[in-house]
Amino acid sequence: MGSRMDTYALKAVTDLPAPFRSAFSFRYFNSLQSECFSTCYLSDVNMIISAPTGSGKTVLFELCIMRLLSKFIHGDGNFTHHKGTFKTIYIAPSKALVQEKVRDWTQKLGPLGINCLELTGDNEQYSIKNIQDADIILTTPEKFDAVTRYRIRDGGLSFFSDIALVLIDEVHLLNDPRGAALEAIVSRIKMLARNPEMKSSSLSLVRLLAVSATIPNINDLAEWLMVPTQGIKRFGEEMRPVKLTTKVFGYTPAKNDFLFEKRLQNYIFDLLTQFSGGKSALIFCSTRKGAQEAAQRLSQIAMTYGHSSPFIKSREQQERLREASLSCSDKQMQSYILYGVGYHNGGLSLKDRNLIEGLFLNGDLQILCTTNTLAHGINLPAHTVVIKSTQYLPLLSSKSNNEFYASNKDKGIYMEYERSMVLQMCGRAGRPPFDDTGMVIIMTRKETVHLYENLLNGCEMVESQMLPCMTEHLTAEIVQSTVSDITRAIEWMKCSFLYHLQDICVQKVNELSQYQMVWTDEDGFLLKPLEPGKLMTKYYLKFGTMKHIIQAPTNCSIEDTLHIICRAEEISWIQLRRNEKKFLNDINNDKDARLRFHILDDKGKRKKRIQTREEKIFILVNDCLTGDSLVHDLSMSQDMNSISTNGSRIAKCMKEYFVYKKSYRGALNSTLLAKYLHQKLWDDSPYLLKQLPGIGMVTAKALHSMGVMSFDSLLEADSRKIELVTGRKYPFGNHIKDSLLSLPPKIEMVVTETEGQRMGKCKLLITLTRLSQTVQSTNKKHYADMMVGIEEDNIILFYEKIRLEDFSSPYCATVLYSSPQIGTLTIKADLIHEEFIGIDLHEKVIITPPTDLNVTHKHRPKEFSFHPKDVHTVKDGVDRTSRAATNELIENSISMPSFNLIDEEFEDDMPVVETEDDDCKIITGKTVFDHIRTKAKSLPILPQSNYTPSPSLEAFARIRKRTREMHLELDNDIELSEVQESSKTPRSIQYHEFTEPQQNMQDIIGPPVNNSYQMDTELWSAEDMLATEHRQNNESRILTEEAILQHVRKFEAQESCKVPRSIQYREFSESELMPDDFFNLMKDAGKFPAEGTLATERQNVSSGTWTEETKSQHVKVPFVHVSMKKNDIRSPIISSSESKVKKVSSPSLQNRQFCSLEVPGEVKKENPFCGFQSVFSFL
């Protein structure tokens, strides 16, 4: 806090215990370090220190670490370390700063047995055990947040209880968009430290130490970090070892930001001449190309001076530069070096980079143009630092700094540098061993001059950036159970730097609940994570990206999945530049059909002009997956790499989401796409061998030329021929074939359909057998996704992730599925390797429905309760005789659609058969007749018409009315014979007699309707004859429904009546109809033939009558020919008069319909018997 340093005596290193003194290479601490010594080393209070860059703040971190390690010093002064007992977390804004501290502290604290672990994107080789054994974990905010999210099921938060010290470097990072991650993890640590379960752990007494550049609102940060008054230390510019002078110049904006940055190159030389004093200078440019152009411009100006270059001081320096230029492989760089100018970026080779760095550190190279990445990289201080423009394009900066700018909605617009980045650049000014002053020059627009003046003078307020990312971080806390209800959510909010905005927290919870990422109770109080929320946290996705995944169709294809990835917020910083459009248009309209998918217009044709960044991403990823990309531009190559990395991660999340939703096609396509993006290859690419170690694009093309494109063909190829084709020497061919050892073991998959089913479920057996074992002795394990699904229903039946080296072979998985009732079922089984393309296994089984479609029984097939007594055959002039037996009757009954509404009576010793449909109502005969009676009374009676309608409700009503007026007692039944029109093939008609006490419902409603035929049927019924006789009879004899039904049950047989084929479908006259005294003739004729009597003779058929001679009489019967439509249903009155079940041997006869006679006239085309259908509709 104080600025009067003369009141503090400098502290000596000897004030520390003996085991810690070797960590410092100096004898005394400087003024700042001495003032903070007692608070850092002699107490455990939280601290926040604001001081200029280069004032020695790093030593304060080391003092706090030694305070923690002093607990291991015994009374005798010996140091005994217990690994991983007290952990220190160091958080820095960049990977370069983390790696620098890892090297430094490993060297200083390694002799004490202190284990330092780096957790950054560059170090993925770590395990939970590594984290638990580490004493100091050095990480970036985003990586630490991701590790604790991703490893949550593996104990990601288990080491939190051992955290005793948290060191935050550059805490002013909170003011940048990336500051939300830092704020989230500090809030998480504070929240867990308050947990009552942590009272006995080190976390409950965790110590926080934060350092930053000069900031005005240090008290606000101190309140957030719970820093007492004695822990707040504020130092001004007087503590800087090198006096720093800052200049901010404002320039008039150009037409666009690109032209503005390019125009600034014209002012750099004048500024260096005026302020650098002939000393070394670093010029920070936003792009690699901008750095090259700035170096080119300065060298061209220096060239005009001839041998007296302003950047070369002596002949010896010029000689050294000439020698250095000869060893430089970059042709452009060679000419620049001769004039004392160079550039530095990631595109240089390692040799050229080391050469440039050495020349600049030695002072031979005076001007170095570089990108902003050097500000976080190797320490290359200079007297003067020039920041050429404070704006940059997000896509051209490092991924670690810009993938968190997804909230930026400006497309193609330059963004301002992060505040921490500007301060980091300024920190390069001034070289303590060589200079006592430094110069910082900022070139910006006129309207932003005051912003950077306030920043450099320490007048810019630090504010929270949690708001844009609050949804994602709140979800992560709910998934990790840090937040379990609204009260704890608000409490977590209070732990953040944004604590005063409680309403926003509730709003974000509601939004998460809307998309089913978290569950809330009815009161909206309790919070529990759901699977989508867990996946978003696990894969570190943005909320907007997860919404796209949730809204995706469950049957999305690979193309649909690609479009979702192109809209992801993780890669929203990629922009479409003007100079890229022509190249992308050419790729999209390729004539060689290289791309699998293209950008299409509204008419389905290839789009001629690429217009959005999503379309650019789609084209780039398609070009990349061909295996032989046409993109060679450095910027687009960086875009492509970022798309592949982030896209693979998003596709993996989609896979797990679709598995959770049991969507087979979505999960399968997402799994495949994740692998394609990881390998940057389609599965049909001719360069699949690129997946193997040691095989690049050149070798893959050479192998392709000799026909080697798959792993199997490479195994069979000759090693010497490989060497010949690739132009390499022995034993290159052997090494190429040895690369096959990195493949996972070979697996065989067999899918077997097991016989039998239970409860309507069938079994499928999938067997995996390991045919080989991995030979290569590496710790890397290979995984595969085993997936079984139904293609038609798009449902996953089985899913499991398998480690190929370790599963017990043979591995059998049993899959249950419902047997199809209609159509076929396609079940697919897939074994998809997680890493390698071209070795996946795909099998499918087509399941057909069972033969019996009527009912699926739980125990045994249903048996009929009646058995025919005899089998009678009527010959109609054909020698062929039907030999159908009783079992044929049963088979035909099963194969035909059934209208049976009442179960047959069962014998006492026969158990009732249970059907699968347990919800069916039990219907008795009384139930059916009661329902028929109720419905029949409500049927409308249509008025008389001059036309004869087709069998319909009108005809049915008239027939029923006339039938009531008749005497229904007949001594014998009329036997009916059928003659098929347009076919002279004789048939035999079978009559099976049975004596059931109750009429089967098949007899009531007649034979089933076959919709595949439209037939002409010539029929005659006894009821129609009765109706004809009494057509004009005014007497009405009313019979009850019960009387009619009782009479129906008494029918035992019908007399056959032959109908001729000669009269066609036409209008009828009165003379053609039956005489009125027809029934008198019947009564006088005597008895009809008895049941089962066969007709033995047939007389010639005349033009209007047909004669059949029986044993006792000769009867002439008139007829009518009626055309039945395919949807007609048999007349219930006629059907009810039958007492025999008729099974016709000819298939066409099974489709015959019955109809009734009516008054003369034309046939009306109406829907037949809709009233009768409504009677049975309740069933």
pLDDT score, position 618: 94
Predicted local confidence at residue 116, as pLDDT: 92
* Residue environment code for 709-741, b if the CB has 16+ CB neighbours within 10 A, otherwise e: bebeebeebebeebbebbeeeeebbebbbbbee
H/E stretch holding 514 reads helix 502-514
Amino acid (one-letter) located at 475: T
- Residue 849 pLDDT exceeds 50: yes
Residues whose CB falls within 8 Å of the CB of residue 67, separated by 6 or more in sequence, listed in order: 40, 41, 42, 43, 44
Task: For strands 1106-1109 and 207-212, give the pairing.
Answer: unpaired
Evaluated on CA atoms 4, 5, 9, 12, the torsion sign reads: positive
Give the integer Cα–Cα distance in Å for 1126 and 1: 101
Q: Which residues pair with 233 in a beta bridge?
A: 49
3-class SS string, 322-355: HHHHHCCCCHHHHHHHCCCEEEECCCCCHHHHHH
User: Residue 619's pLDDT is what?
Assistant: 93
Helices (H) and strands (E) in the chain, counts: 40, 33
- Candidates 424, 420, 417; CA nearest to 376 is 424
Does 932 or 146 have the greater pLDDT score?
A: 146
> Which residues lie across from 117 on neighbouring strands?
137
Q: Higher-confidence residue: 287 or 1068?
A: 287
Whether 957 and 945 have beta carbons less than 8 Å apart is answered as no
Higher pLDDT, 623 or 85: 623
> In CATH, what is the architecture of 243-456?
3-Layer(aba) Sandwich (3.40)
Instruction: Write out 1029-1057 in H/E/C secondary structure.
Output: HCCCCCCCCCCCHHHHHHHHHHCCCECCC
Both tokens of residue 510? 């509601």
Instruction: Quickly state the pLDDT bin for 567 (edges 50, 70, 90).
Output: very high
Query: In terms of Cα–Cα distance, which of 96, 140, 136 is closest to 116?
Result: 136
- For residue 433, the model assigns a pLDDT of 67
Superfamily covering domain 686-742: 5' to 3' exonuclease, C-terminal subdomain (1.10.150.20)
The ranges assigned to domains in the chain are 5-239, 243-456, 467-538, 556-685, 686-742, 747-847, 925-1175
Residue-level pLDDT at 999: 42
Mean pLDDT throughout 1136-1151? 39
Please report the pLDDT score of residue 127 as a whole number: 76
- Region of poorest pLDDT, from 143-152, 230-239, 525-534: 143-152
Q: Which residue would you say has higher pLDDT here, 668 or 437? A: 668
- 645-683 tens-digit pLDDT: 999 999 999 999 999 999 999 999 999 999 999 999 999
pLDDT at 1163 over 80: no
Cα–Cα distance for residue pair 276/266, rounded to 1 Å: 17
β-bridge partners, 415: 392
Which fold is adopted by the domain 467-538? Arc Repressor Mutant, subunit A (1.10.10)
- Alpha helices per DSSP H over 363-498: 399-402, 419-426, 449-456, 470-479, 486-495
Q: Is 437 exposed, middle or buried (0-12, 13-18, 19+ CB in 10 A)?
A: middle
Contact 1112, 1123 (CB under 8 A): no
Residues 6+ apart with CB under 8 A from 350: none
With a CB cutoff of 8 Å and minimum separation 6, the contacts of 460 are 175, 215, 216, 419, 451, 454
Over residues 878-900, mean pLDDT: 38
Q: Calculate ∠ Cα 1010-1011-1017, nearest 5°.
A: 65
**Identity at 570, one-letter amino acid code:** E
At residue 688, the 3 state secondary structure works out as: helix
Binned at pLDDT 50, 70 and 90, residue 854 comes out as very low
Q: H or E segment at 1084?
A: helix 1078-1084
Tell me which of 988 and 826 has the higher pLDDT.
Answer: 826
φ and ψ at 402, to 5 degrees? -125, -10
Taking only the tens place, the pLDDT of each residue in 516-562 is: 999 988 877 888 999 999 999 989 899 999 999 999 998 899 999 99
Q: How far apart are CA 248 and CA 450, in angstroms?
A: 9
What is the C-alpha to C-alpha distance for residues 258 and 759, in angstroms, rounded to an integer?
72
Q: For position 206, what pLDDT does the model report?
A: 92
pLDDT, residue 252, reads: 87
- Strand ranges in 841-934 using DSSP code E only, listed in sequence order: 841-847, 871-874
674 phi and psi angles, rounded to 5 deg: -60, -40
Scan for tokens 């400087």, then name that residue. Answer: 30
Six token digits for residue 214: 């000069």
Q: Average pLDDT, stretch 153-158?
A: 58
Please report which residue ranges of 29-178 form alpha helices under DSSP H.
Answer: 31-41, 58-69, 95-109, 128-133, 141-150
Q: Above pLDDT 90, what percent of the chain?
A: 19
Angle between helices 613-625 and 664-679 (to 10 degrees): 70
Q: How many CB atoms lie within 10 A of CB 787?
A: 23
β-pair type (1106-1109, 1114-1117): antiparallel
pLDDT digits (tens, 9 = 90+) for 686-704: 899 888 888 888 888 888 8
Which residues face 138 on adjacent strands? 90, 118
CA-nearest of 539, 562, 561, 542 to 552 is: 561
When mean pLDDT is compared over 259-273, 942-956, 1136-1150, the highest value belongs to 259-273
Give the whole-angstrom CA distance, residue 929 versus residue 573: 76
The answer to whether 1074 and 1021 have CB atoms below 8 angstroms apart is no
* pLDDT surpasses 50 at 819: yes
pTM higher than 0.85: no
Interval 164-204: pLDDT, tens: 999 999 888 888 888 888 988 898 888 888 888 888 888 88
The strand pair at 761-770 and 811-818 is best described as antiparallel
Task: Look at residue 354 in the predicted model and tell me its pLDDT.
Answer: 86
- Given CATH 3.40.50.300, say whether it is the number of domain 5-239: yes
- pLDDT average, residue stretch 384-410: 59
Quote the CA–CA distance of 1069 and 1071 in Å, as a whole number: 5
Among 254-258, 962-966, 1094-1098, the range scoring the smallest mean pLDDT is 1094-1098
pLDDT at position 809, please? Answer: 84
| The pLDDT of residue 1048 | 56
Task: Give the tokens for residue 787.
Answer: 């997936």
Residue 54: predicted pLDDT? 74
Q: Given a cut of 90, is residue 79 above it in pLDDT?
A: no
pLDDT at 1022 > cutoff 90: no
> Residue 399's closest CA among 538, 574, 565, 563?
574
Note the pLDDT of residue 1077.
Answer: 46
Report, as an integer, the average pLDDT of 1095-1101.
Answer: 38
The predicted model gives 955-983 an average pLDDT of 46
Tokens for 1171, please give them. 């009233």
The angle subtended at Cα 848 by Cα 847 and Cα 851, nearest 5°, is 145
Q: How far apart are CA 992 and CA 868, in angstroms?
A: 5
The pLDDT confidence band at residue 429, using thresholds 50, 70 and 90, is confident
Q: Is 226 left (phi over 0), alpha (psi -120 to 50) or beta?
A: left
Rounded CA-CA distance 200/195 in Å is: 11
d(CA 369, CA 290): 9
- The count of other CB atoms within 10 Å of the CB of residue 424 is 23
The CATH architecture to which 556-685 belongs is Orthogonal Bundle (1.10)
Average pLDDT value over all residues in the chain: 73
Question: What is the torsion angle, in degrees rounded to the nearest 10, for the CA atoms of residue 876, residue 880, residue 881 and residue 886?
Answer: -120
> If you average pLDDT over residues 1115-1141, what whole number do you get?
40
Nearest alpha carbon to residue 1028 among 1082, 1109, 1088: 1082
Please count the CA atoms within 13 angstroms of the CA of 658 that sit on its side-chain side: 31
| d(C-alpha 596, C-alpha 696), whole Å | 22
Q: Which residues contact 1058 (CB under 8 A, 6 or more apart)?
A: 977, 979, 1098, 1101, 1106, 1107, 1108, 1117
* DSSP single-letter state for residue 110: G
Residue 180: partners with Cβ closer than 8 Å, 6 or more residues away:
404, 464, 465, 466, 468, 469, 470, 473
With 80 as the cut, is the pLDDT of residue 371 above it?
yes
The dihedral built from the CA positions of residue 802, 804, 806 and 811, taken in this order, carries a sign that is positive
Region 309-337: mean pLDDT is: 87
- Give the tens place of pLDDT for each residue, 740-762: 888 888 899 999 888 766 666 78
In this prediction, residue 467 carries a pLDDT of 80
119: helix, coil or strand? strand
pLDDT for position 158 = 73
Choose among 141, 145, 167: nearest CA to 156. 145
Q: Torsions phi, psi of 802, nearest 5?
A: -120, 140
Query: Same topology for domains 467-538 and 556-685, yes or no?
Result: no
pLDDT higher than threshold 70 for residue 265: yes
Residue length, the chain? 1179
* CATH fold of 747-847: Immunoglobulin-like (2.60.40)
Lay out the sheet containing 232-234: strands in order across: 116-119, 136-139, 87-91, 163-168, 207-212, 47-50, 232-234
